[in-house]
Structure 1
Amino acid sequence: MSANIRIVLVNTTHPGNIGGVARAMKNMALGELHLVAPKKFPHVNADARAAGATDLLESAVIHDTLEEAIADCQIVVGTSARGRHIPWPVVDPRELAAIVQPIATDKKIAIVFGREDRGLTNEELHLCQYHVHIPSNPDFSSLNLAAAVQVVTYELRMASIYAQENEQHKPQWGTDWDIELADSSDLERLFKHLEETLVDIDFLDPENPRQLMPRLRRLYLRAMPDKVEVNVLRGILTATQKNSNAKD
């Protein structure tokens, strides 16, 4: 199970938390750790908290931006502790595990954890198909970063063990898909192309965009298009732009 699951930490402030996450990951047989602009790393405190999982720290991949960290991933899940102005598909860790388990092991899945003090921004969450929320005590809901990773990765491992024991191998959509899913970089090019086209045809006012692009992101991310479908959509956008320019 572990080969296609990537844990991504964004702007982690305390290096000890990175070490704690590495330990939590290794407990649950996960080995791919990506860090987005950590405040202090490498660091002795990270090594100390890893307690035997320093190999994950040594192999951790560091990125400047979240977009870079998830560019080759087909499924991106962002952790969220609060409701958003525009509702997004929200699942708890057990529901997430049920979604992830049937996905083929050749699909890259990123689970993104935000800053210790304020989590992920709205813009970062808009890069994700799903948001996962841990239903902790509402009177004391703040979770340590490593504890949050442990909860999510435990559910992933239990779903994998249950599926193996019960020989459940039903594909994601009930059938083997014929085309590779679009990855995050494919989708970001689509959204950029879509926004440009909507401005060209005067459907989107860049001075007053309201929430149009976040809502369209939610629509397309919910559909989880494959690479051919993304190419078809971009072909439609190109034809729309040409037709609009011809009329001008």
Structure 2
Amino acid sequence: MSFKKNISFVLIEPKKGGNVGASARALHNMGFKNLVLVNSNLHLDEEAKTFAMKGAYILQNAKSFDTLEEAIAESSLVVGLTRRRGKKRGLFYEFEEGIQKIRERASKNKVSVIFGRENSGLSNKETERCHFLITIPTGNTSSSINLSQSVLIMAYELSRYEMIKTRGEKIKSVTVKELDYLLNEVKNTLIYLNYGKRGDRDLLHSILRTMKGFFTRKGLTKAEMNMFLGIFKELRKKGGDS
């Protein structure tokens, strides 16, 4: 199951239906589906439906709760977005670190990402309900970001995990023949370094078996294979083996 299904975007008392609708559209664009509202029914607003475009189904399936406590009851991690810092605001993580923690937890657990009101953000009481807080980096001219823009940025940053993974899947892995060639180079290098039997132990065979398992589990790419080939050949070259 995609980690995206475990992440809920929670809007506390939004003031404008347009922002709610634009948030739904942003979630649709980035592959998320869970929109939650606290003390608001603006997901039913006509303006919200207009702004949602193809994300209208997210509004239809949105959940509304009277309190934040009810909205986050089933989440194992609650993260708040705020630009205001202070001793009473709670634990802060740098933006990238916070994004990574959300991804990791959402792989198997439910996570709530909390967004405050357009005019006043999150209260101190609400930040106390969060496990940690993050701030979206901005320029020096203004640190305040529109609600729907904040939702879009968070959805995009969280989606980059799958984008990177998809690009990684296009990288060519080594074939069985190429892996055998690499292991043979490893064997030649180990023999040159006098790795053989140690008493009753066939150390050479044991190392080769372990390295084959490691390379197979990792899914070795051709670029990585060439790097290892260069290292092993250089080791023999330094020792005088041509």
Shorter-chain TM-score above 0.5: yes
Alignment of 1:164-183 (within 5 A): 165-166=167-168
Tell me, yes or no, if the aligned pair for 1:97 and 1:159 is still in contact at 8 Å: no
Counterpart code for 2:60: E
Alignment of 1:134-173 (within 5 A): 134-163=136-165, 165-166=167-168
Identify unmatched segments of 5+ residues in structure 2: 170-242
Give the structure 1 partner of residue 64 of structure 2.
62
Candidates 74, 77, 80, aligned match of 2:76: 74
Give the structure 2 partner of residue 111 of structure 1.
113
Deviations 1:49-84 (A, max 9, x none): 101100000000000000000000000001111112
Give the structure 2 partner of residue 37 of structure 1.
39
Give the structure 1 partner of residue 180 of structure 2.
none
Larger CA Rg, structure 1 vs 2 = 2
Residue 164 of structure 1, CA deviation: 5.6
Query: Aligned-pair RMSD on alpha carbons?
Result: 1.8
> Which structure features the higher share of helix residues?
2
State the secondary structure of the residue aligned to 1:33: strand
CA distance in 1, matches of 2:7, 2:89: 25
Candidates 97, 100, 105, aligned match of 1:98: 100
Tell me, yes or no, if the aligned pair for 1:94 and 1:156 is still in contact at 8 Å: no
TM-score of the superposed pair, with normalisation by structure 2? 0.65
Deviations 1:111-153 (A, max 9, x none): 0001000101001000111101012123222211111111111
CA pair 32-87 structure 1, distance change in 2 beyond 3 A: closer
CA distance in 2, matches of 1:104, 1:76: 11
TM-score of the superposed pair, with normalisation by structure 1? 0.63
State the secondary structure of the residue aligned to 1:73: coil
State the secondary structure of the residue aligned to 1:138: coil
CA distance in 2, matches of 1:16, 1:87: 29
Residue 92 of structure 1, CA deviation: 4.1
Candidates 87, 90, 108, aligned match of 1:88: 90
